[in-house]
């Protein structure tokens, strides 16, 4: 359980860092897709929640704990389809933190009884929910890089 707590704290700290990184950006900056990019900052932030929900809940045969509108449009291979307003951005930020708290509760309560193994394109083989949990910081770290690059261009 201590390893789980460490991983969750690392993910939470990463997510708080991301929100701090973008706190001074305008709605326009969050939505801007610079030349040469397929997405924007707000898509990357929402993608973190969507990816974690897909990886942990869907692969475990469970229902995601956020609304589908905050999962399906942000899965890998998608790109922004609309301009997000202030209320939607606030919901994305809230989901980023709240979904992790709910995940922590669900894990502690033993909801994740099965896991469909997944070979990630990064050469990682995820065979258990714990593998998935340990993959999340790596994935979110990559997206910090994308967000930082996008921030320089908006």
Mean pLDDT of the chain: 95
CATH, residue 143: 1.20.120.450
Total number of domains in the chain? 1
Contact between 10 and 139 under an 8 Å Cβ cutoff? The reply is: no
Which has more pLDDT, 120 or 128?
128
The pTM (predicted TM-score) of the whole model is: 0.94
Q: What percent of the chain has pLDDT over 70?
A: 98
Tell me the mean pLDDT in the region 12-31: 97
Q: What is the pLDDT of residue 1?
A: 63
Residue 40 domain boundaries: 2-153
């Amino acid at each position: 359980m201590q390893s789980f707590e460490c991983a969750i704290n690392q993910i939470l700290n990463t997510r708080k860092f991301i929100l701090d990184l973008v706190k001074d950006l305008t709605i326009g900056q969050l939505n801007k897709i610079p030349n040469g990019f397929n997405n924007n900052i707000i898509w990357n932030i929402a993608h973190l929640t969507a990816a974690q929900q897909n990886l942990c809940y869907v692969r475990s045969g469970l229902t995601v704990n956020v609304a589908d509108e905050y999962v399906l449009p942000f899965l890998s291979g998608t790109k922004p389809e609309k301009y997000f307003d202030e209320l939607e951005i606030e919901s994305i930020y809230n989901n980023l933190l709240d979904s992790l708290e709910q995940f922590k509760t669900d894990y502690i309560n033993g909801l994740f009884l099965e896991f469909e193994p997944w070979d990630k394109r990064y050469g990682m083989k995820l065979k258990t929910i714990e593998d998935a949990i340990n993959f999340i910081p790596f994935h979110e770290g990559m997206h910090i890089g994308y967000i930082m690059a996008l921030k320089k261009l908006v």
